[in-house]
């Protein structure tokens, strides 16, 4: 089963990390992903820019309106996600626990995928 | 990251919201800060045992307010403090208080806290020091290091600033739209001052002062989250991100300035550039460009150029023309002249800066640009005079060294074969 692991945390806190703290967390997160990657179970990984960079299109009215900022004002924000291939929910939870050890606070939402098309984007396209 | 590091980050990020709400309760900066400090002490005791609260800021506000009120009562009646247990029983109460803290209130709370730091009676250096202390929660030694002054001098500067604020009227009523936008403008200006304190650092000072740039960016993001549809705040955040993205490339090993066109562009921070460009895209949709946004757009054209020769100078010239209209100043015209020299040649640029001479006769950069234009035209003797003047006006060794390299080149070029 494919699962999305959605990462929620207080972006105020995450963006208050010093460079050293940030690097330490990233190193540990990458180590946690390595296990999954080696087993061929790690799909796309994305880290999102802060919600200040977000724009929302509200389409529940005509015409749809564009709003600056994220869709929902929440205490903890969606900051990134992983897609992983796991035998069971337990395995997906185990992965989330591993990630959690690197990265205190916040929450991971583990959500099974209904449709998955990996697409053909390359990560270099980010640099443009 | 261990517990303590996480708690530290949580306290830092909760600080602006918590202190500004406590300021609304106590109407006194010292009491608000003290209440916050006490709440932090309780947090250090309680959070490792009970786990972090869902909303650290709400927890700190409630505990800080209780402690502050108890403190006031105790001082009034000399009554003993209630035991700790009654204070830390916050489980359900925390959610309730978080709900009662009107979200629209805290927007104005934080803006007020930042705004009182920009009190017009305070000189700029005191404004910045006060904001870094009160809003960002930097320690006095940290601020002193960033300003390159002694700790006691910085302590004094902050105490003096606070004393002035205490005497001034702090506006506690909820601001109307015009006041709010006026405050927002003043606060944006102060945040950019903090940034420039860090950005104007030269080689050796850089590690000490660069944190100021990061703090300014953090404050701008905070402000932008509160005022999400303000294109000028987007512009300010983008401008700082784009400028700061170049920090690893701006100085050589000896601490001398490396000009934009000579920088190793692979050292530019791609994540910061991407965020800056995203913010500009958003802001442009509002179709009312202000000075920060236009400056950010200029920085973006540099950031987008893979090589110096790819820079879109005609567009930069146009943006500077817009900036001249929005905020006419000889310095803006001088900057535009550099773009003009790339588009229409050094002659046109010289013509443009000639009338600025009376205004900028004490400005290092004016003579630097003038010298460079004259040099390009082969008017070496006049160029040498301009460069000499620039060196005399240099603000630091790095600037002087940079001009000296121009002079050396002149010397070589004009030496008899």
Residue B83, pLDDT score: 52
B182-187 long-range contacts, CB within 8 A, separation 24+: B183/B111, B183/B112, B183/B114, B183/B115, B184/B111, B184/B223, B184/B227, B184/B230, B184/B232, B184/B233, B185/B232, B186/B115, B186/B118, B187/B111, B187/B114, B187/B115, B187/B118, B187/B223
* pLDDT above 70 (res B78): no
At B410, the pLDDT band (50, 70, 90 cuts) reads confident
At B167, the pLDDT band (50, 70, 90 cuts) reads confident
B9-54 pLDDT, tens per residue?
889 889 999 999 999 888 888 889 999 999 999 999 999 888 878 8
Q: CB neighbours of B163 closer than 8 A, spacing ≥ 6?
A: none
Lowest mean pLDDT among A39-48, A65-74, B280-289, B307-316: A65-74
* pLDDT above 60 (res B95): no
Interior angle at CA B160, CA B158 and CA B161, nearest 5: 65
The Cα A65–Cα B313 span in angstroms is: 35
CB contact under 8 A, A69 and B228: yes
At B333, the pLDDT band (50, 70, 90 cuts) reads very high
Residue B415, pLDDT score: 62
* pLDDT above 50 (res A77): yes
Of B6, B55, B229, nearest to A104 by CB-CB distance is: B6
Residue A48, pLDDT score: 95
Give the ipTM of the model, two decimals please: 0.90
At B1, the pLDDT band (50, 70, 90 cuts) reads low
Q: Calculate the alpha carbon distances from B306 to B111, B214, B252, B339 in Å.
A: 39, 25, 20, 18
B340-363 pLDDT, tens per residue?
999 999 999 999 999 999 999 999
Residue B151, pLDDT score: 94
Across B117-146, average pLDDT: 89
Q: Alpha helices of B150-176 — where are they, by DSSP H?
A: 151-167
* pLDDT above 80 (res A21): yes
Most B CBs within 10 A among A9, A12, A64, A74, hence the mutation to make, goes to A12
Distance from CA of B325 to the nearest CA of A (A): 27
* pLDDT above 90 (res B368): yes
Cross-strand bridge partners of residue B251: B257
Distance from CA of B297 to the nearest CA of A (A): 16
Element (H, E) at B110: helix B103-117
Residue A19, pLDDT score: 80
CB contact under 8 A, A15 and B5: no
Most B CBs within 10 A among A26, A49, A104, hence the mutation to make, goes to A104
Chain A: residue nearest B95 by CA?
A75
Lowest mean pLDDT among A44-53, B224-233, B253-262, B354-363: B253-262
Residue B73, pLDDT score: 78
Chain A environment of B278 (Cβ under 8 Å)? 49, 53
Q: Assign B393 to helix, strand or coil.
A: helix
At B2, the pLDDT band (50, 70, 90 cuts) reads low
Across B380-408, average pLDDT: 89
Distance from CA of B303 to the nearest CA of A (A): 11
At B88, the pLDDT band (50, 70, 90 cuts) reads very low
CB contact under 8 A, A49 and B275: yes
- The percent of residues in chain B predicted with pLDDT above 90, rounded, is 56
B177-193 pLDDT, tens per residue?
888 888 899 999 999 99
What is the average pLDDT score of chain B? 87
B199-250 pLDDT, tens per residue?
887 767 777 788 889 999 999 999 999 899 999 999 999 999 999 999 999 9
Across B133-157, average pLDDT: 91
Size of interface A-B (CB pairs under 8 A): 68
Residue, of B317 and B123, whose pLDDT is higher: B317
Residue B284, pLDDT score: 96
3-state percent helix, strand, coil for chain A, nearest multiple of 5: 35, 30, 35
Residue, of A79 and A20, whose pLDDT is higher: A79
């Amino acid at each position: 089963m494919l699962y999305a692991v959605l990462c929620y945390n207080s972006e105020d806190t995450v963006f208050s990390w010093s460079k050293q703290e940030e690097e330490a967390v990233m190193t540990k997160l990458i180590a946690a992903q390595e296990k999954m990657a080696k087993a061929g179970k790690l799909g796309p990984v994305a880290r999102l820019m802060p919600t200040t960079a977000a724009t929302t299109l509200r389409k529940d009215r005509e015409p749809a309106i564009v709003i600056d900022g994220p869709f929902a004002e929440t205490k903890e924000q969606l900051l990134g996600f992983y897609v992983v291939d796991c035998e069971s929910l337990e395995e997906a939870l185990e992965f989330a626990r591993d990630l959690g050890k690197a990265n205190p606070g916040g929450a991971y939402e583990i959500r099974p995928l209904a449709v998955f098309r990996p697409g053909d984007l390359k990560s270099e396209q980010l640099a443009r | 990251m261990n517990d303590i590091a996480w708690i530290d980050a949580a306290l830092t990020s909760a600080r602006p919201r918590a202190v500004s709400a406590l300021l609304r309760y106590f109407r006194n900066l010292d009491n608000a800060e003290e209440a916050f400090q006490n709440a932090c002490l309780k947090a250090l005791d309680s959070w490792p045992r009970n786990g972090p609260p869902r909303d650290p800021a709400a927890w700190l506000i409630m505990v800080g307010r209780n402690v502050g009120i108890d403190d006031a009562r105790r001082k009034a009646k000399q009554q003993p403090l209630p035991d700790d247990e009654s204070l830390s029983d916050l489980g359900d109460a925390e959610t309730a208080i978080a709900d009662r803290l009107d979200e629209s209130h805290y927007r104005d709370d934080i803006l007020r806290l930042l705004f009182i730091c920009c009190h017009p009676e305070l000189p700029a250096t005191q404004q910045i020091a006060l904001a870094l202390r009160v809003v960002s929660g930097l320690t006095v030694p940290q601020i002193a290091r960033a300003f390159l002054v002694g700790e006691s001098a910085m302590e004094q500067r902050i105490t003096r600033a606070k004393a002035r604020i205490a005497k001034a009227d702090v506006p506690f009523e909820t601001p109307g739209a015009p006041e709010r936008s006026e405050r927002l403008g003043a606060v944006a200006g102060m945040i950019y001052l903090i940034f420039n304190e860090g950005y104007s650092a030269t080689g050796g000072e850089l590690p000490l002062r660069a944190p100021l740039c990061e703090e300014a960016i953090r404050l701008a993001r905070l402000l932008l989250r509160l005022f999400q549809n303000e294109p000028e705040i987007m512009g300010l955040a983008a401008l700082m991100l784009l400028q700061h993205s170049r920090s690893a490339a701006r100085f050589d090993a000896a601490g001398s300035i490396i000009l934009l066109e000579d920088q190793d562009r692979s050292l530019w921070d791609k994540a910061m550039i991407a965020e800056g460009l995203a913010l500009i895209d958003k802001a442009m949709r509002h179709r009312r460009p202000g000075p920060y946004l236009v400056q950010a757009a200029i920085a973006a054209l540099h950031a987008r150029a893979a090589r110096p020769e790819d820079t879109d100078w005609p567009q930069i010239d146009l943006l500077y023309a817009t900036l001249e209209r929005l905020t006419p100043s000889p310095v803006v015209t001088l900057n535009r002249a550099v773009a003009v020299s790339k588009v229409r040649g050094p002659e046109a640029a010289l013509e443009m800066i000639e009338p600025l001479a009376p205004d900028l006769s004490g400005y290092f950069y004016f003579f630097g640009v003038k010298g460079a234009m004259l040099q390009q035209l082969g008017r070496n003797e006049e160029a040498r005079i301009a460069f000499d003047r620039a060196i005399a006006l240099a603000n630091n060794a790095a600037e002087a060294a940079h001009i000296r390299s121009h002079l050396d080149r002149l010397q070589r070029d004009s030496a008899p074969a």
